[in-house]
Structure 1
Amino acid sequence: MRMSSSDPKILGMGSPVAVDSGLGTVTLVEGSTFCVSDSLGDIRPGTAHGMFFRDARVLSRWELLLDDQPLEQLAVRSHEPFKARFVLRKTPQAGLADSTVLVERRRLVGDGLAEVLTVWNLGQEDTALSLTLRVAADFIDLFAVKEGRWGPSASEAAVAAGDLLLTDQDEPGRGLAVHATAHPVVQVDGLRWQVVIGARSQWQAQVFAQPIHDHRRVPPITRDAEDSPTNRIRAWRATATRLTATSPMLSQVLQRTETDLGSLRIDDVTDDSPAYVAAGAPWFMTLFGRDSLLTSWMALPLDSDLAVGTLRELAKTQGTKTDPRTEEQPGRIMHETRRGPVGGPTPGGNVYYGTVDATPLFVMLLAECWKWGAEQTHVEELLPAADAALAWIDEYGDLDGDGFVEYRRKTDRGLANQGWKDSYDAINDADGNLAAPAIALAEVQGYVYAARVARAEIADALGDPETAVRLRQAAEELKERFDAAFWDPKNGCYAIALDDRKHRVDAVTSNAAQCLWTGIVQERRAGQLIEQLGGPAMDSGFGLRTLAEHMGAYNPMSYHNGSVWPHDTAIAVAGLLRYRHVPGAQALAHHLATGLLDAAAEFGGRLPELFCGFSRNRFRFPVPYPTSCAPQAWASAAPLLLVRSALGLHPNVPQRTLNLTPRIPADWGTVELTDLRLGPATVTIVAEGNTARVHSLPHDWQLHIH
């Protein structure tokens, strides 16, 4: 995803440090704020733990001690992504097996942190104890934390009016205020309560950690406030589509998908734009180009407003000038935006543009939103951005005028690889040799093809046949050139890329499956390609490997060279079902979907960013990748794309048509989408096997079930 650079100090690239302190890890997330602690609820110094607000660590220590000793874990529960309960006890005294002091920490994360501390005395005598909360902040940029580059803390601590104030000396407008009830003694290193609790009684205190931005405290979060995380996600669920299945496993996965995508929504916009979606926790709670666009596409059946919000936010930062430091170019859609401390990792500014695929994906998503019923005013508002994106493809994306979009970073400060497989070693040939830039990726040519076709459809609808004909002709010419240049008859597969000499980079990879999704694959190639994708070298049993196991660079424990990425497998399933008439396509799609959902069940219903690509015959369970993000947006949305693809769900609101080609796997049972919004219409779809029923479709719409 975002982990490669020749200089690991840039863009937070390089291997992330593990956040696990040995006591497990609990990640809570809400909007762009997240908190990483151990299973005691402690944020321990010297680790990647912390609470992060606006891309800076505003809490680097938050440790609870009882009588100056750590507590002992009993249980931890987190039924929503933004809150958790930690159940603990006082460590028994030497020679005793039991303890009579129980401690509960109830934590809520939003624009800050609120915690309720409750201590029960279960004994028959009164007990005197001290409770200490050690607090510190270092205000380090989150990428420095991610890579273990702590550096010296720039924090200054002071006590004022009973509050602990922590200030960033490098950026004085940034800070943190901590205050609490129950009359603690406040010192520069934390809070301390001296309490006596009666027999069979309890004591309670509330603690609030409020980030300070631009010299102003954010409001403290409470459980009952109208804009609390609980109420925000409740309001969103009331408007989102309800997806259910008679399969308990699929229902669990879909419920987790809804919850996680709800927590990854960011709605702190200043205008009337809908919410947009962040890339994932813990390290990527911000808007990304590629990640947010693909997630929004997948999430259309759940909430189409997310896609509109994402497009509108990305249009605001669309490139307008040429700047080699940030790789900005006119019309280019950005890679990521950051709001961290001064001197943060984004070269040349807070927005970095070094991605080759977000720009065509922007055009694809706009056309898809139009079909799903986005307001005409929003589509017309975004059309100039789409046309600027298409102009970027022709004028800047095609570096040498050969008709393909390539990438080569503009300085040594940028990403070496700028597709979705952006680790430094991700683009290699069958022998494992790295490709030399400029590099033209296979799936990117598919995105460009689909973008031109999509924009042509809008042009037809808006009475602009000249533009429609021009774009369709360009798309078909690209399809022919792509087949001639990328098809590798030796492997029966499209090459992952062309290198600087226009030689095929001949590794067998999952990138070719994404070409099926965009429709750039020639019909005469589909059968052989599907056979290659379905072989044991690519199929792990839990999903599609990123690289075939007989390739030189294959490593099932790597980031991009043999691992399984759920979103990648889901896109492959969508591509296979697009070519469902080709022998073997539907069977392989169902097999891959089943394997991926089996993996989700092993992960408690939540698909991680990626997991290791070991064969299911070797390990009967998916092996986790140590630093995988969870929840991660496009992994969370992947089950939605599986369901949409199995339904063959293709609405066209402007034409008032709904097309369904249901091919529901037998073990899913009945799948139901309740209150699916398609522009002004709200429908319910119930499907099983090859049959489907649609309720509440307006009388002037046409329904086609194939």
Structure 2
Amino acid sequence: MAVAPSRPPDHSPEHEPERIHAEADSSPRAHETLKHDDAFVVVDTHGDIGAFGNHADGFFYNDTRYLSRLEMLIARRPPLLLGSTLGRQDLQLCADLTNTDIYSNGALWLHKDVVHVFRTTYVRDASLRQRLVFTNHSNVDLYLPVTIFFDADFLDIFEVRGMRREKRGTVRRHVESPHSVGFAYSGLDRVIRQTTVHIDPEPVTLKETSAFFRLHLPAKGSQRVYVTSVAAGDRAKVPCTHYVKGLLDAQRHLRRSQRQATSIEVSHPDLDSVLKRSLADLRLLITETPDGPYPYAGTPWYSTTFGRDALITALQVLWLDPSIARGVLRRLARYQAQSHDADADAQPGKILHEMRSGEMAALREIPFGLYYGSVDSTPLFVVLAGAYIEATEDKEFHREIWPAILKALEWIDGPGDPDGDGFVEYARETENGLSNQGWKDSHDAIFNRDGTLAEGPLALVEVQGYVYEAKNAAARMARMQGDDNLALRLQDEAAALQKRFEEKFWSPEIGTYALALDGRKRRLDVRSSNAGHALSSGIADSERAMRVIEQMVSPAFFSGWGIRTIASSEARYNPMSYHNGSIWPHDNAMIGAGFARYGRSDQIETVFNGLLDAALNMSQRRLPELFCGFRRRAGRAPILYPVACSPQAWASGSMLHLLKSLMGLKIDGAARTITLSAPYLPERVGEVTVRNIRAGAGSAGFTLRRKNGGVSIDVTDCSDGAKVVLA
């Protein structure tokens, strides 16, 4: 309740009331991410940006931070957080706030918990939009002093990550109108990046970095304030639609995409919530590009085009939405390397690793403008193309993508295997490139048994599996194109690779496949999760595959939450490291697919349950990019990796991928057949219903039920000749 005159003394920014109170939040806050296409925001649970000055939050667009501060204070005090919710569909963040005790001239003017603030945030069309609804729950009118601080530093995303630069461009700030402040950054790349902060209604005082209001709140009445930040490069500013209209547009777009996609329902409520969060996060990370939908890798650090991440994500969810695979393939074909460029680790036919559009990339202060330093993206490109064509029978796209597939195969047999030993390997061409170019690309991820770093060129175990799978997939596509000679040649090459692989990579000393071959063709006898990827490709000998599976679910690998990247017995094992003992959900999902391929769906249950329990113990029931590999302990949640991306695309696809593997699901577009081979449902799942799953031009639905230790099936909604087969 109000305990002083309803109109306090002057509360302009120069004359704020005295505040001495401990309720205000003085500790770092949790953060959430909202995204639409190339723009995203990392905002704290209050809806603030930059409240603590040193966090990697902000409003980002095309690898640049366009807003580094957006903080709302009541009487220059942070409001108290009552609760904060990220909507199930990731569209907006809703924060409920209230005022602290407010003093004026040493006397209590306003008790805490009198004014409620409902603050909502979303991102749409390269703009950040907020609405703040202030409601007075007292019986007297109030004139509430509110200040909103804002600023733009235009840091490159790599600067936000911690890189230091000797020189930067210049930032200009100016009040454009009673409602808006403009910020412009003249970059060293001669690009002008701009943002405008719009405020509505007109504040009492508007300065270059703050807006001050004296909000009139009638007894039991409300007042609304809208804040919008519109990002633009050196082009016309993106038009800003009304707050509600923009939100309704986003909701309509979401409903359309949901109607078109395959849907999943499970009887286990916790699993259902994890799967729905996964699907919502994938929709969040999908960016509409000129080539179609493309899953950006993850926020905040990897919200851009990555080759490997998108290819694996598209494979994970191909059964749910094949349009993602088509968009990924078309975009990566567009940027397929055409010539040799040592600085970019590019050779003709190679598939992109990473694309960046910020100032540092333009100035080549980092090599990632268009960077090709991944050894696995090219074979994975062919694998995804084969899987997409098989599931959809999209003959027109097959013809469109075929030249890029042939170029990729030429790279695999040429620059990808520079010494001609039949194994694809990598070595960076300059000191600026990545030293390791598989999915474990940190500098210390590939090492000898004694822990010393390996010397290249390096042939990774999983990459040979991808190449094997790629050649078999390309053989099927060649046969569809009528080129039987090429198909036979590719099949023979795959068979020869499989034989060489067993001879060179199997290590009797460690009872599994070696991590890699080094530059002198010596095995790196390290027990690693990479060997599990060999199973997913089908390259592994069946008997040896069983031994790999036994290791993967042993205590040395399986923590109780998931499979570690290396066994706890290895020299560089560190459960807090990025790649040497941590747990990556996508890694586990690919290993689980390998378990299914060799008929061990029962062991998928171990991994599935571990990751499900991990997700249930995490914020938003969301699996992050990775988490620490410490052994599971009763009553304790998984230990988080502090700077993991969350959400992250291939982490979001992991539970969906594991569910597909458990069901033994395979799609034949030409036959319009969905085959479920020896489906296995974990005890805690019970029932799974899948609707609108497509096979070529047809679609179908089905329900699997766990029954008497086995699985029963009901088939529903078959259309256009589609059928579901239990094998």
Q: TM-score range by the shorter chain?
A: over 0.9
Moved more, 653-662 or 332-341: 653-662
* Alpha-carbon distance in 2 for matches of 1:386, 1:352: 19
* Alpha-carbon distance in 2 for matches of 1:281, 1:82: 15
The aligned runs of 1:427-466 (5 Å cut-off) are: 427-466=446-485
* Alpha-carbon distance in 2 for matches of 1:460, 1:188: 65
Name the counterpart of 1:14.
none
Cα deviation, residue 172, structure 1: 4.8
Cα deviation, residue 148, structure 1: 6.2
SS across alignment from 2:424:
coil
- Write the letter of the residue equivalent to 1:254: L
Name the counterpart of 1:90.
99
SS across alignment from 2:540:
coil
SS across alignment from 2:342:
coil
Name the counterpart of 1:654.
670
* Alpha-carbon distance in 2 for matches of 1:98, 1:658: 60
The aligned runs of 1:276-425 (5 Å cut-off) are: 276-341=294-359, 343=361, 347-348=366-367, 350-373=369-392, 375-425=394-444
Cα deviation, residue 538, structure 1: 0.6
The aligned runs of 1:155-554 (5 Å cut-off) are: 155-162=171-178, 163-170=180-187, 171-184=190-203, 185-221=205-241, 222-225=243-246, 228-267=249-288, 269-270=289-290, 273-341=291-359, 343=361, 347-348=366-367, 350-373=369-392, 375-554=394-573
SS across alignment from 1:377:
helix
* Alpha-carbon distance in 2 for matches of 1:473, 1:230: 51
Name the counterpart of 1:58.
66
Q: 1:42 to 1:705 in 2, by over 3 A?
A: same
Q: 1:618 to 1:441 in 2, by over 3 A?
A: farther
* Alpha-carbon distance in 2 for matches of 1:376, 1:609: 35
Name the counterpart of 1:601.
616
* Alpha-carbon distance in 2 for matches of 1:467, 1:557: 47
Per-residue CA deviation, residues 294-320 of structure 1 (Å, 9 max, x unaligned), is 001101122110110011011110000
Name the counterpart of 1:589.
604
SS across alignment from 1:505:
coil
Name the counterpart of 1:100.
114
* Alpha-carbon distance in 2 for matches of 1:596, 1:224: 39
- Write the letter of the residue equivalent to 1:455: A
Q: Does 1:685 align with 2:702?
A: yes
User: Is the 1:373–1:653 Cα contact (8 Å) retained in structure 2?
Assistant: yes
Cα deviation, residue 698, structure 1: 5.2
Moved more, 474-483 or 619-628: 619-628
Cα deviation, residue 347, structure 1: 4.0
Moved more, 562-571 or 30-39: 30-39
SS across alignment from 1:114:
strand
* Alpha-carbon distance in 2 for matches of 1:586, 1:172: 54
**Where do 5+ consecutive residues of structure 1 fail to align?**
1-19
* Alpha-carbon distance in 1 for matches of 2:523, 2:69: 51
* Alpha-carbon distance in 1 for matches of 2:116, 2:674: 57
Q: Which has the higher contact order (CA 8 A, sep 6+)?
A: 1
Per-residue CA deviation, residues 252-301 of structure 1 (Å, 9 max, x unaligned), is 1111111111111101x34xx43111111122111110000000110112
Cα deviation, residue 349, structure 1: 6.3
Cα deviation, residue 651, structure 1: 1.1
User: Is the 1:172–1:215 Cα contact (8 Å) retained in structure 2?
Assistant: no
Q: Does 1:141 align with 2:149?
A: no
User: Is the 1:154–1:168 Cα contact (8 Å) retained in structure 2?
Assistant: yes
User: Is the 1:21–1:38 Cα contact (8 Å) retained in structure 2?
Assistant: no
User: Is the 2:602–2:680 Cα contact (8 Å) retained in structure 1?
Assistant: no
- Write the letter of the residue equivalent to 1:22: P
Per-residue CA deviation, residues 14-50 of structure 1 (Å, 9 max, x unaligned), is xxxxxx9712222222222211122222111333111
Q: 2:38 aligns with which of 22, 25, 32?
A: 32
Identity %: 38
Per-residue CA deviation, residues 350-377 of structure 1 (Å, 9 max, x unaligned), is 2111000000000000010011115211
User: Is the 2:674–2:695 Cα contact (8 Å) retained in structure 1?
Assistant: no
* Alpha-carbon distance in 1 for matches of 2:301, 2:38: 10
SS across alignment from 1:40:
coil
Q: 2:685 aligns with which of 656, 664, 668?
A: 668
Equivalent residues, number: 680
User: Is the 2:319–2:667 Cα contact (8 Å) retained in structure 1?
Assistant: no
User: Is the 2:143–2:215 Cα contact (8 Å) retained in structure 1?
Assistant: yes
- Write the letter of the residue equivalent to 2:569: H
* Alpha-carbon distance in 1 for matches of 2:229, 2:246: 16
SS across alignment from 2:578:
coil
**Where do 5+ consecutive residues of structure 2 fail to align?**
1-25
* Alpha-carbon distance in 2 for matches of 1:678, 1:154: 55
* Alpha-carbon distance in 2 for matches of 1:166, 1:410: 40
* Alpha-carbon distance in 2 for matches of 1:513, 1:76: 40
SS across alignment from 2:567:
coil
Cα deviation, residue 544, structure 1: 0.6
- How large is the RMSD of aligned CA atoms in angstroms? 2.0
Cα deviation, residue 76, structure 1: 0.9
Q: 2:78 aligns with which of 70, 77, 89?
A: 70
User: Is the 1:556–1:614 Cα contact (8 Å) retained in structure 2?
Assistant: yes
User: Is the 2:565–2:582 Cα contact (8 Å) retained in structure 1?
Assistant: yes
Moved more, 141-150 or 234-243: 141-150
Moved more, 121-130 or 367-376: 121-130
Cα deviation, residue 704, structure 1: 3.6
User: Is the 2:698–2:721 Cα contact (8 Å) retained in structure 1?
Assistant: no
**Structure label with greater radius of gyration:** 2
* Alpha-carbon distance in 1 for matches of 2:361, 2:368: 9
User: Is the 1:347–1:414 Cα contact (8 Å) retained in structure 2?
Assistant: no
* Alpha-carbon distance in 2 for matches of 1:207, 1:262: 25
User: Is the 1:30–1:229 Cα contact (8 Å) retained in structure 2?
Assistant: no
Name the counterpart of 1:9.
none
Q: 1:667 to 1:118 in 2, by over 3 A?
A: same
Name the counterpart of 1:644.
660
Name the counterpart of 1:616.
632
- Write the letter of the residue equivalent to 2:268: S
SS across alignment from 1:70:
coil
Query: What TM-score does the superposition give when structure 1 sets the normalisation length?
Result: 0.93
Cα deviation, residue 615, structure 1: 1.2
